[in-house]
Chains A and B, each alone.
Chain A
Amino acid sequence: MRNLWNLLVRYHIAVVFVILQGIALTWFIGSHGYPRGRWVQLSLEWQGEWNQRLSQWQRLSDLDDLNRELLAENAVLRADLHSARGDAIQSAYQGAEVIRCTWKSTSNQIILNKGTKHGVRTGQGILQANRIVGRVIEASENYALALPLINSSIEWSVRIGATGPVARLVWEGGDVSRAMIYDVPRSTLISPGDSILSSGFQGYFSPGLLVGSVANEAPLFDGQFLNVPISLAVDFRAIRYVQITAIQGQAEIDTLSNRRGHNAP
């Protein structure tokens, strides 16, 4: 016991280093690319407030206010349009402003100036002019943290064209205007410029929303499947005003899905 103590005293710097690295790497592995939990909420609240103050100082004209009004009006009009068309999945929309967006890392994030107080919940989708941006993964009272399409830690369900097969979209880092879709059957006819739309299967978005288009590059063969490079529809470097979409009846769908899951053999 005494020898052990002597050893610890002798190598105390290495011991402290290992302990601190252990804490840091556990924190890193546990949250990298998908930060959630109480510390994120606290930081989000403080950061959001500070960022908003900075942004207010930088505001040069009243055009921002006008933009916000238009955003809210657009949200209402879009919801009315869905309702009038009688779409199978009805969504509610509300406007939000992006107060922070990163695009240089492999685990990019977006922070919005709307939180639980405004009805924002984890799992809601984010759109910009009917194009998919990402989804909310954490919300504090006044702010929401979202993962955009350009985050390599998550996958998205997409459909090629309006009636084509469903595939997985993954952003692999690097160019923020490009991504890759996997698991496309080899028999699928694909041409550059074909639309890539949301499938609606993940429950974050209505089906048929634009994600991007097939890039003018040859697809890669992967066994019975193709990996197809695509161009993303949203310009993440210029993103500012977005709409948060909430699918109506999502809670009921989740309950049904969970119940079936529990009863499954």
Chain B
Amino acid sequence: MNKRLLSYVRVLVPLMLHVLFFQYATFASGWWFFGLHLLGLLLMPLQSPPIMLLLIAAAFGSVVDAANYEGGLFMSSCVFMALLMPAINRLLAPREGYEVTDQPTVSSMGAQWFTIRCLLLLSIHHLWMFGLEAGRYDLIPQAIGKALASSLLSTGAFLVILLLTRRNPNTR
């Protein structure tokens, strides 16, 4: 199996873990939603075409929706995040641009780059998701609070997961 294919397979593992074990992973009375499937989307190769990102995000979201009976909530949020992913990648690109071997991981791009990208993309996803889920204007402030709290805590958790599972910390 070549490296490119492997990187796409790696994307599927967090989704499977989320659906099988972590679908109820909501802590602190709903203030921390831990969407492990989002780590899979965040690990999509940096050179992925935007269309592929959208389609894979839609597929991820719909799988989680089907497992959680949330009917389109996760699909909508994942697609929205995937739309802005290329823009965020461009925003955070090094001066000389990304290299072909660069991967959106801590070991490849560094903890600071990963943390900022993760925080931005998770905030986009969570603001959309909690906003939709709130369904009423008076619940929007609480939804924003939940989105920001979840983004911060999930970024920390993803960082720890990647640090614990990295194979070669001296790649870059």
- Chain A contact residues, CB within 8 Å of chain B: 12-13, 16-17, 20-21, 23-32, 35, 39-40, 42-44, 47, 50, 54, 100, 102, 104-106, 109, 145, 152, 173
A2 nearest CB across to chain B (Å): 22
B152 contacts the other chain (CB 8 A)? no
Residue from the set A27, A29, A31, A40 with the largest chain B CB neighbour count within 10 Å: A27
Is the beta-carbon distance between A20 and B66 smaller than 8 angstroms?
Answer: no
Partner of A106, one of B29, B72, B76, B133: B133
What are 16 sample pairs from A and B whose C-beta atoms fall under 8 A apart? A13-B51, A13-B54, A13-B83, A21-B80, A23-B72, A24-B72, A26-B72, A28-B70, A30-B71, A35-B69, A43-B66, A50-B20, A54-B21, A100-B24, A105-B30, A109-B69
- Chain B contact residues, CB within 8 Å of chain A: 20-21, 24, 26, 29-30, 50-51, 54-55, 58, 61-62, 65-67, 69-73, 75-76, 79-80, 83, 132-136, 139
Q: Please indicate the chain A residues that have their CB under 8 angstroms from the CB of B30 in the complex.
A: 104-105
Cα of A39 to Cα of B70 in the assembled complex, Å = 11
B61 nearest CB across to chain A (Å): 7
Known: A24-B62, A25-B76, A104-B29. 5 other contacts (CB 8 A): A24-B72, A27-B65, A30-B71, A43-B66, A47-B67
Cα of A30 to Cα of B65 in the assembled complex, Å = 13
Q: Please indicate the chain A residues that have their CB under 8 angstroms from the CB of B72 in the complex.
A: 23-32
Q: Is chain B's interface secondary structure helix, strand, loop, or mixed overall?
A: helix
Residue ID in chain B nearest A16 by CB atoms: B54
Residue ID in chain A nearest B50 by CB atoms: A13
Q: Please indicate the chain B residues that have their CB under 8 angstroms from the CB of A100 in the complex.
A: 24
Q: Please indicate the chain A residues that have their CB under 8 angstroms from the CB of B132 in the complex.
A: 28
Contacts A13-B50, A104-B26; is A35 near B75 (CB within 8 Å)? no
Q: Please indicate the chain A residues that have their CB under 8 angstroms from the CB of B54 in the complex.
A: 13, 16-17, 20
Q: Please indicate the chain B residues that have their CB under 8 angstroms from the CB of A13 in the complex.
A: 50-51, 54, 83
Partner of A17, one of B75, B79, B134: B79
Q: Which 3 residue pairs spanning A and B have beta carbons closest together?
A: A28-B72, A27-B72, A31-B71
Residue from the set A12, A21, A24 with the largest chain B CB neighbour count within 10 Å: A24
Is the beta-carbon distance between B61 and A106 smaller than 8 angstroms?
Answer: no
Cα of A16 to Cα of B79 in the assembled complex, Å = 10
Is the beta-carbon distance between B71 and A28 smaller than 8 angstroms?
Answer: yes
Is the beta-carbon distance between B26 and A24 smaller than 8 angstroms?
Answer: no
Cα of A27 to Cα of B66 in the assembled complex, Å = 11
Cα of A24 to Cα of B76 in the assembled complex, Å = 5
Contacts A16-B51, A173-B139; is A24 near B133 (CB within 8 Å)? no
Cα of A44 to Cα of B69 in the assembled complex, Å = 9
Is the beta-carbon distance between A21 and B67 smaller than 8 angstroms?
Answer: no
Residue ID in chain A nearest B132 by CB atoms: A28
Is the beta-carbon distance between A16 and B69 smaller than 8 angstroms?
Answer: no
Cα of A264 to Cα of B76 in the assembled complex, Å = 44
Q: Please indicate the chain A residues that have their CB under 8 angstroms from the CB of B139 in the complex.
A: 106, 173
Cα of A50 to Cα of B23 in the assembled complex, Å = 12
Q: Please indicate the chain A residues that have their CB under 8 angstroms from the CB of B75 in the complex.
A: 20, 23-24, 27-28
Cα of A44 to Cα of B75 in the assembled complex, Å = 19
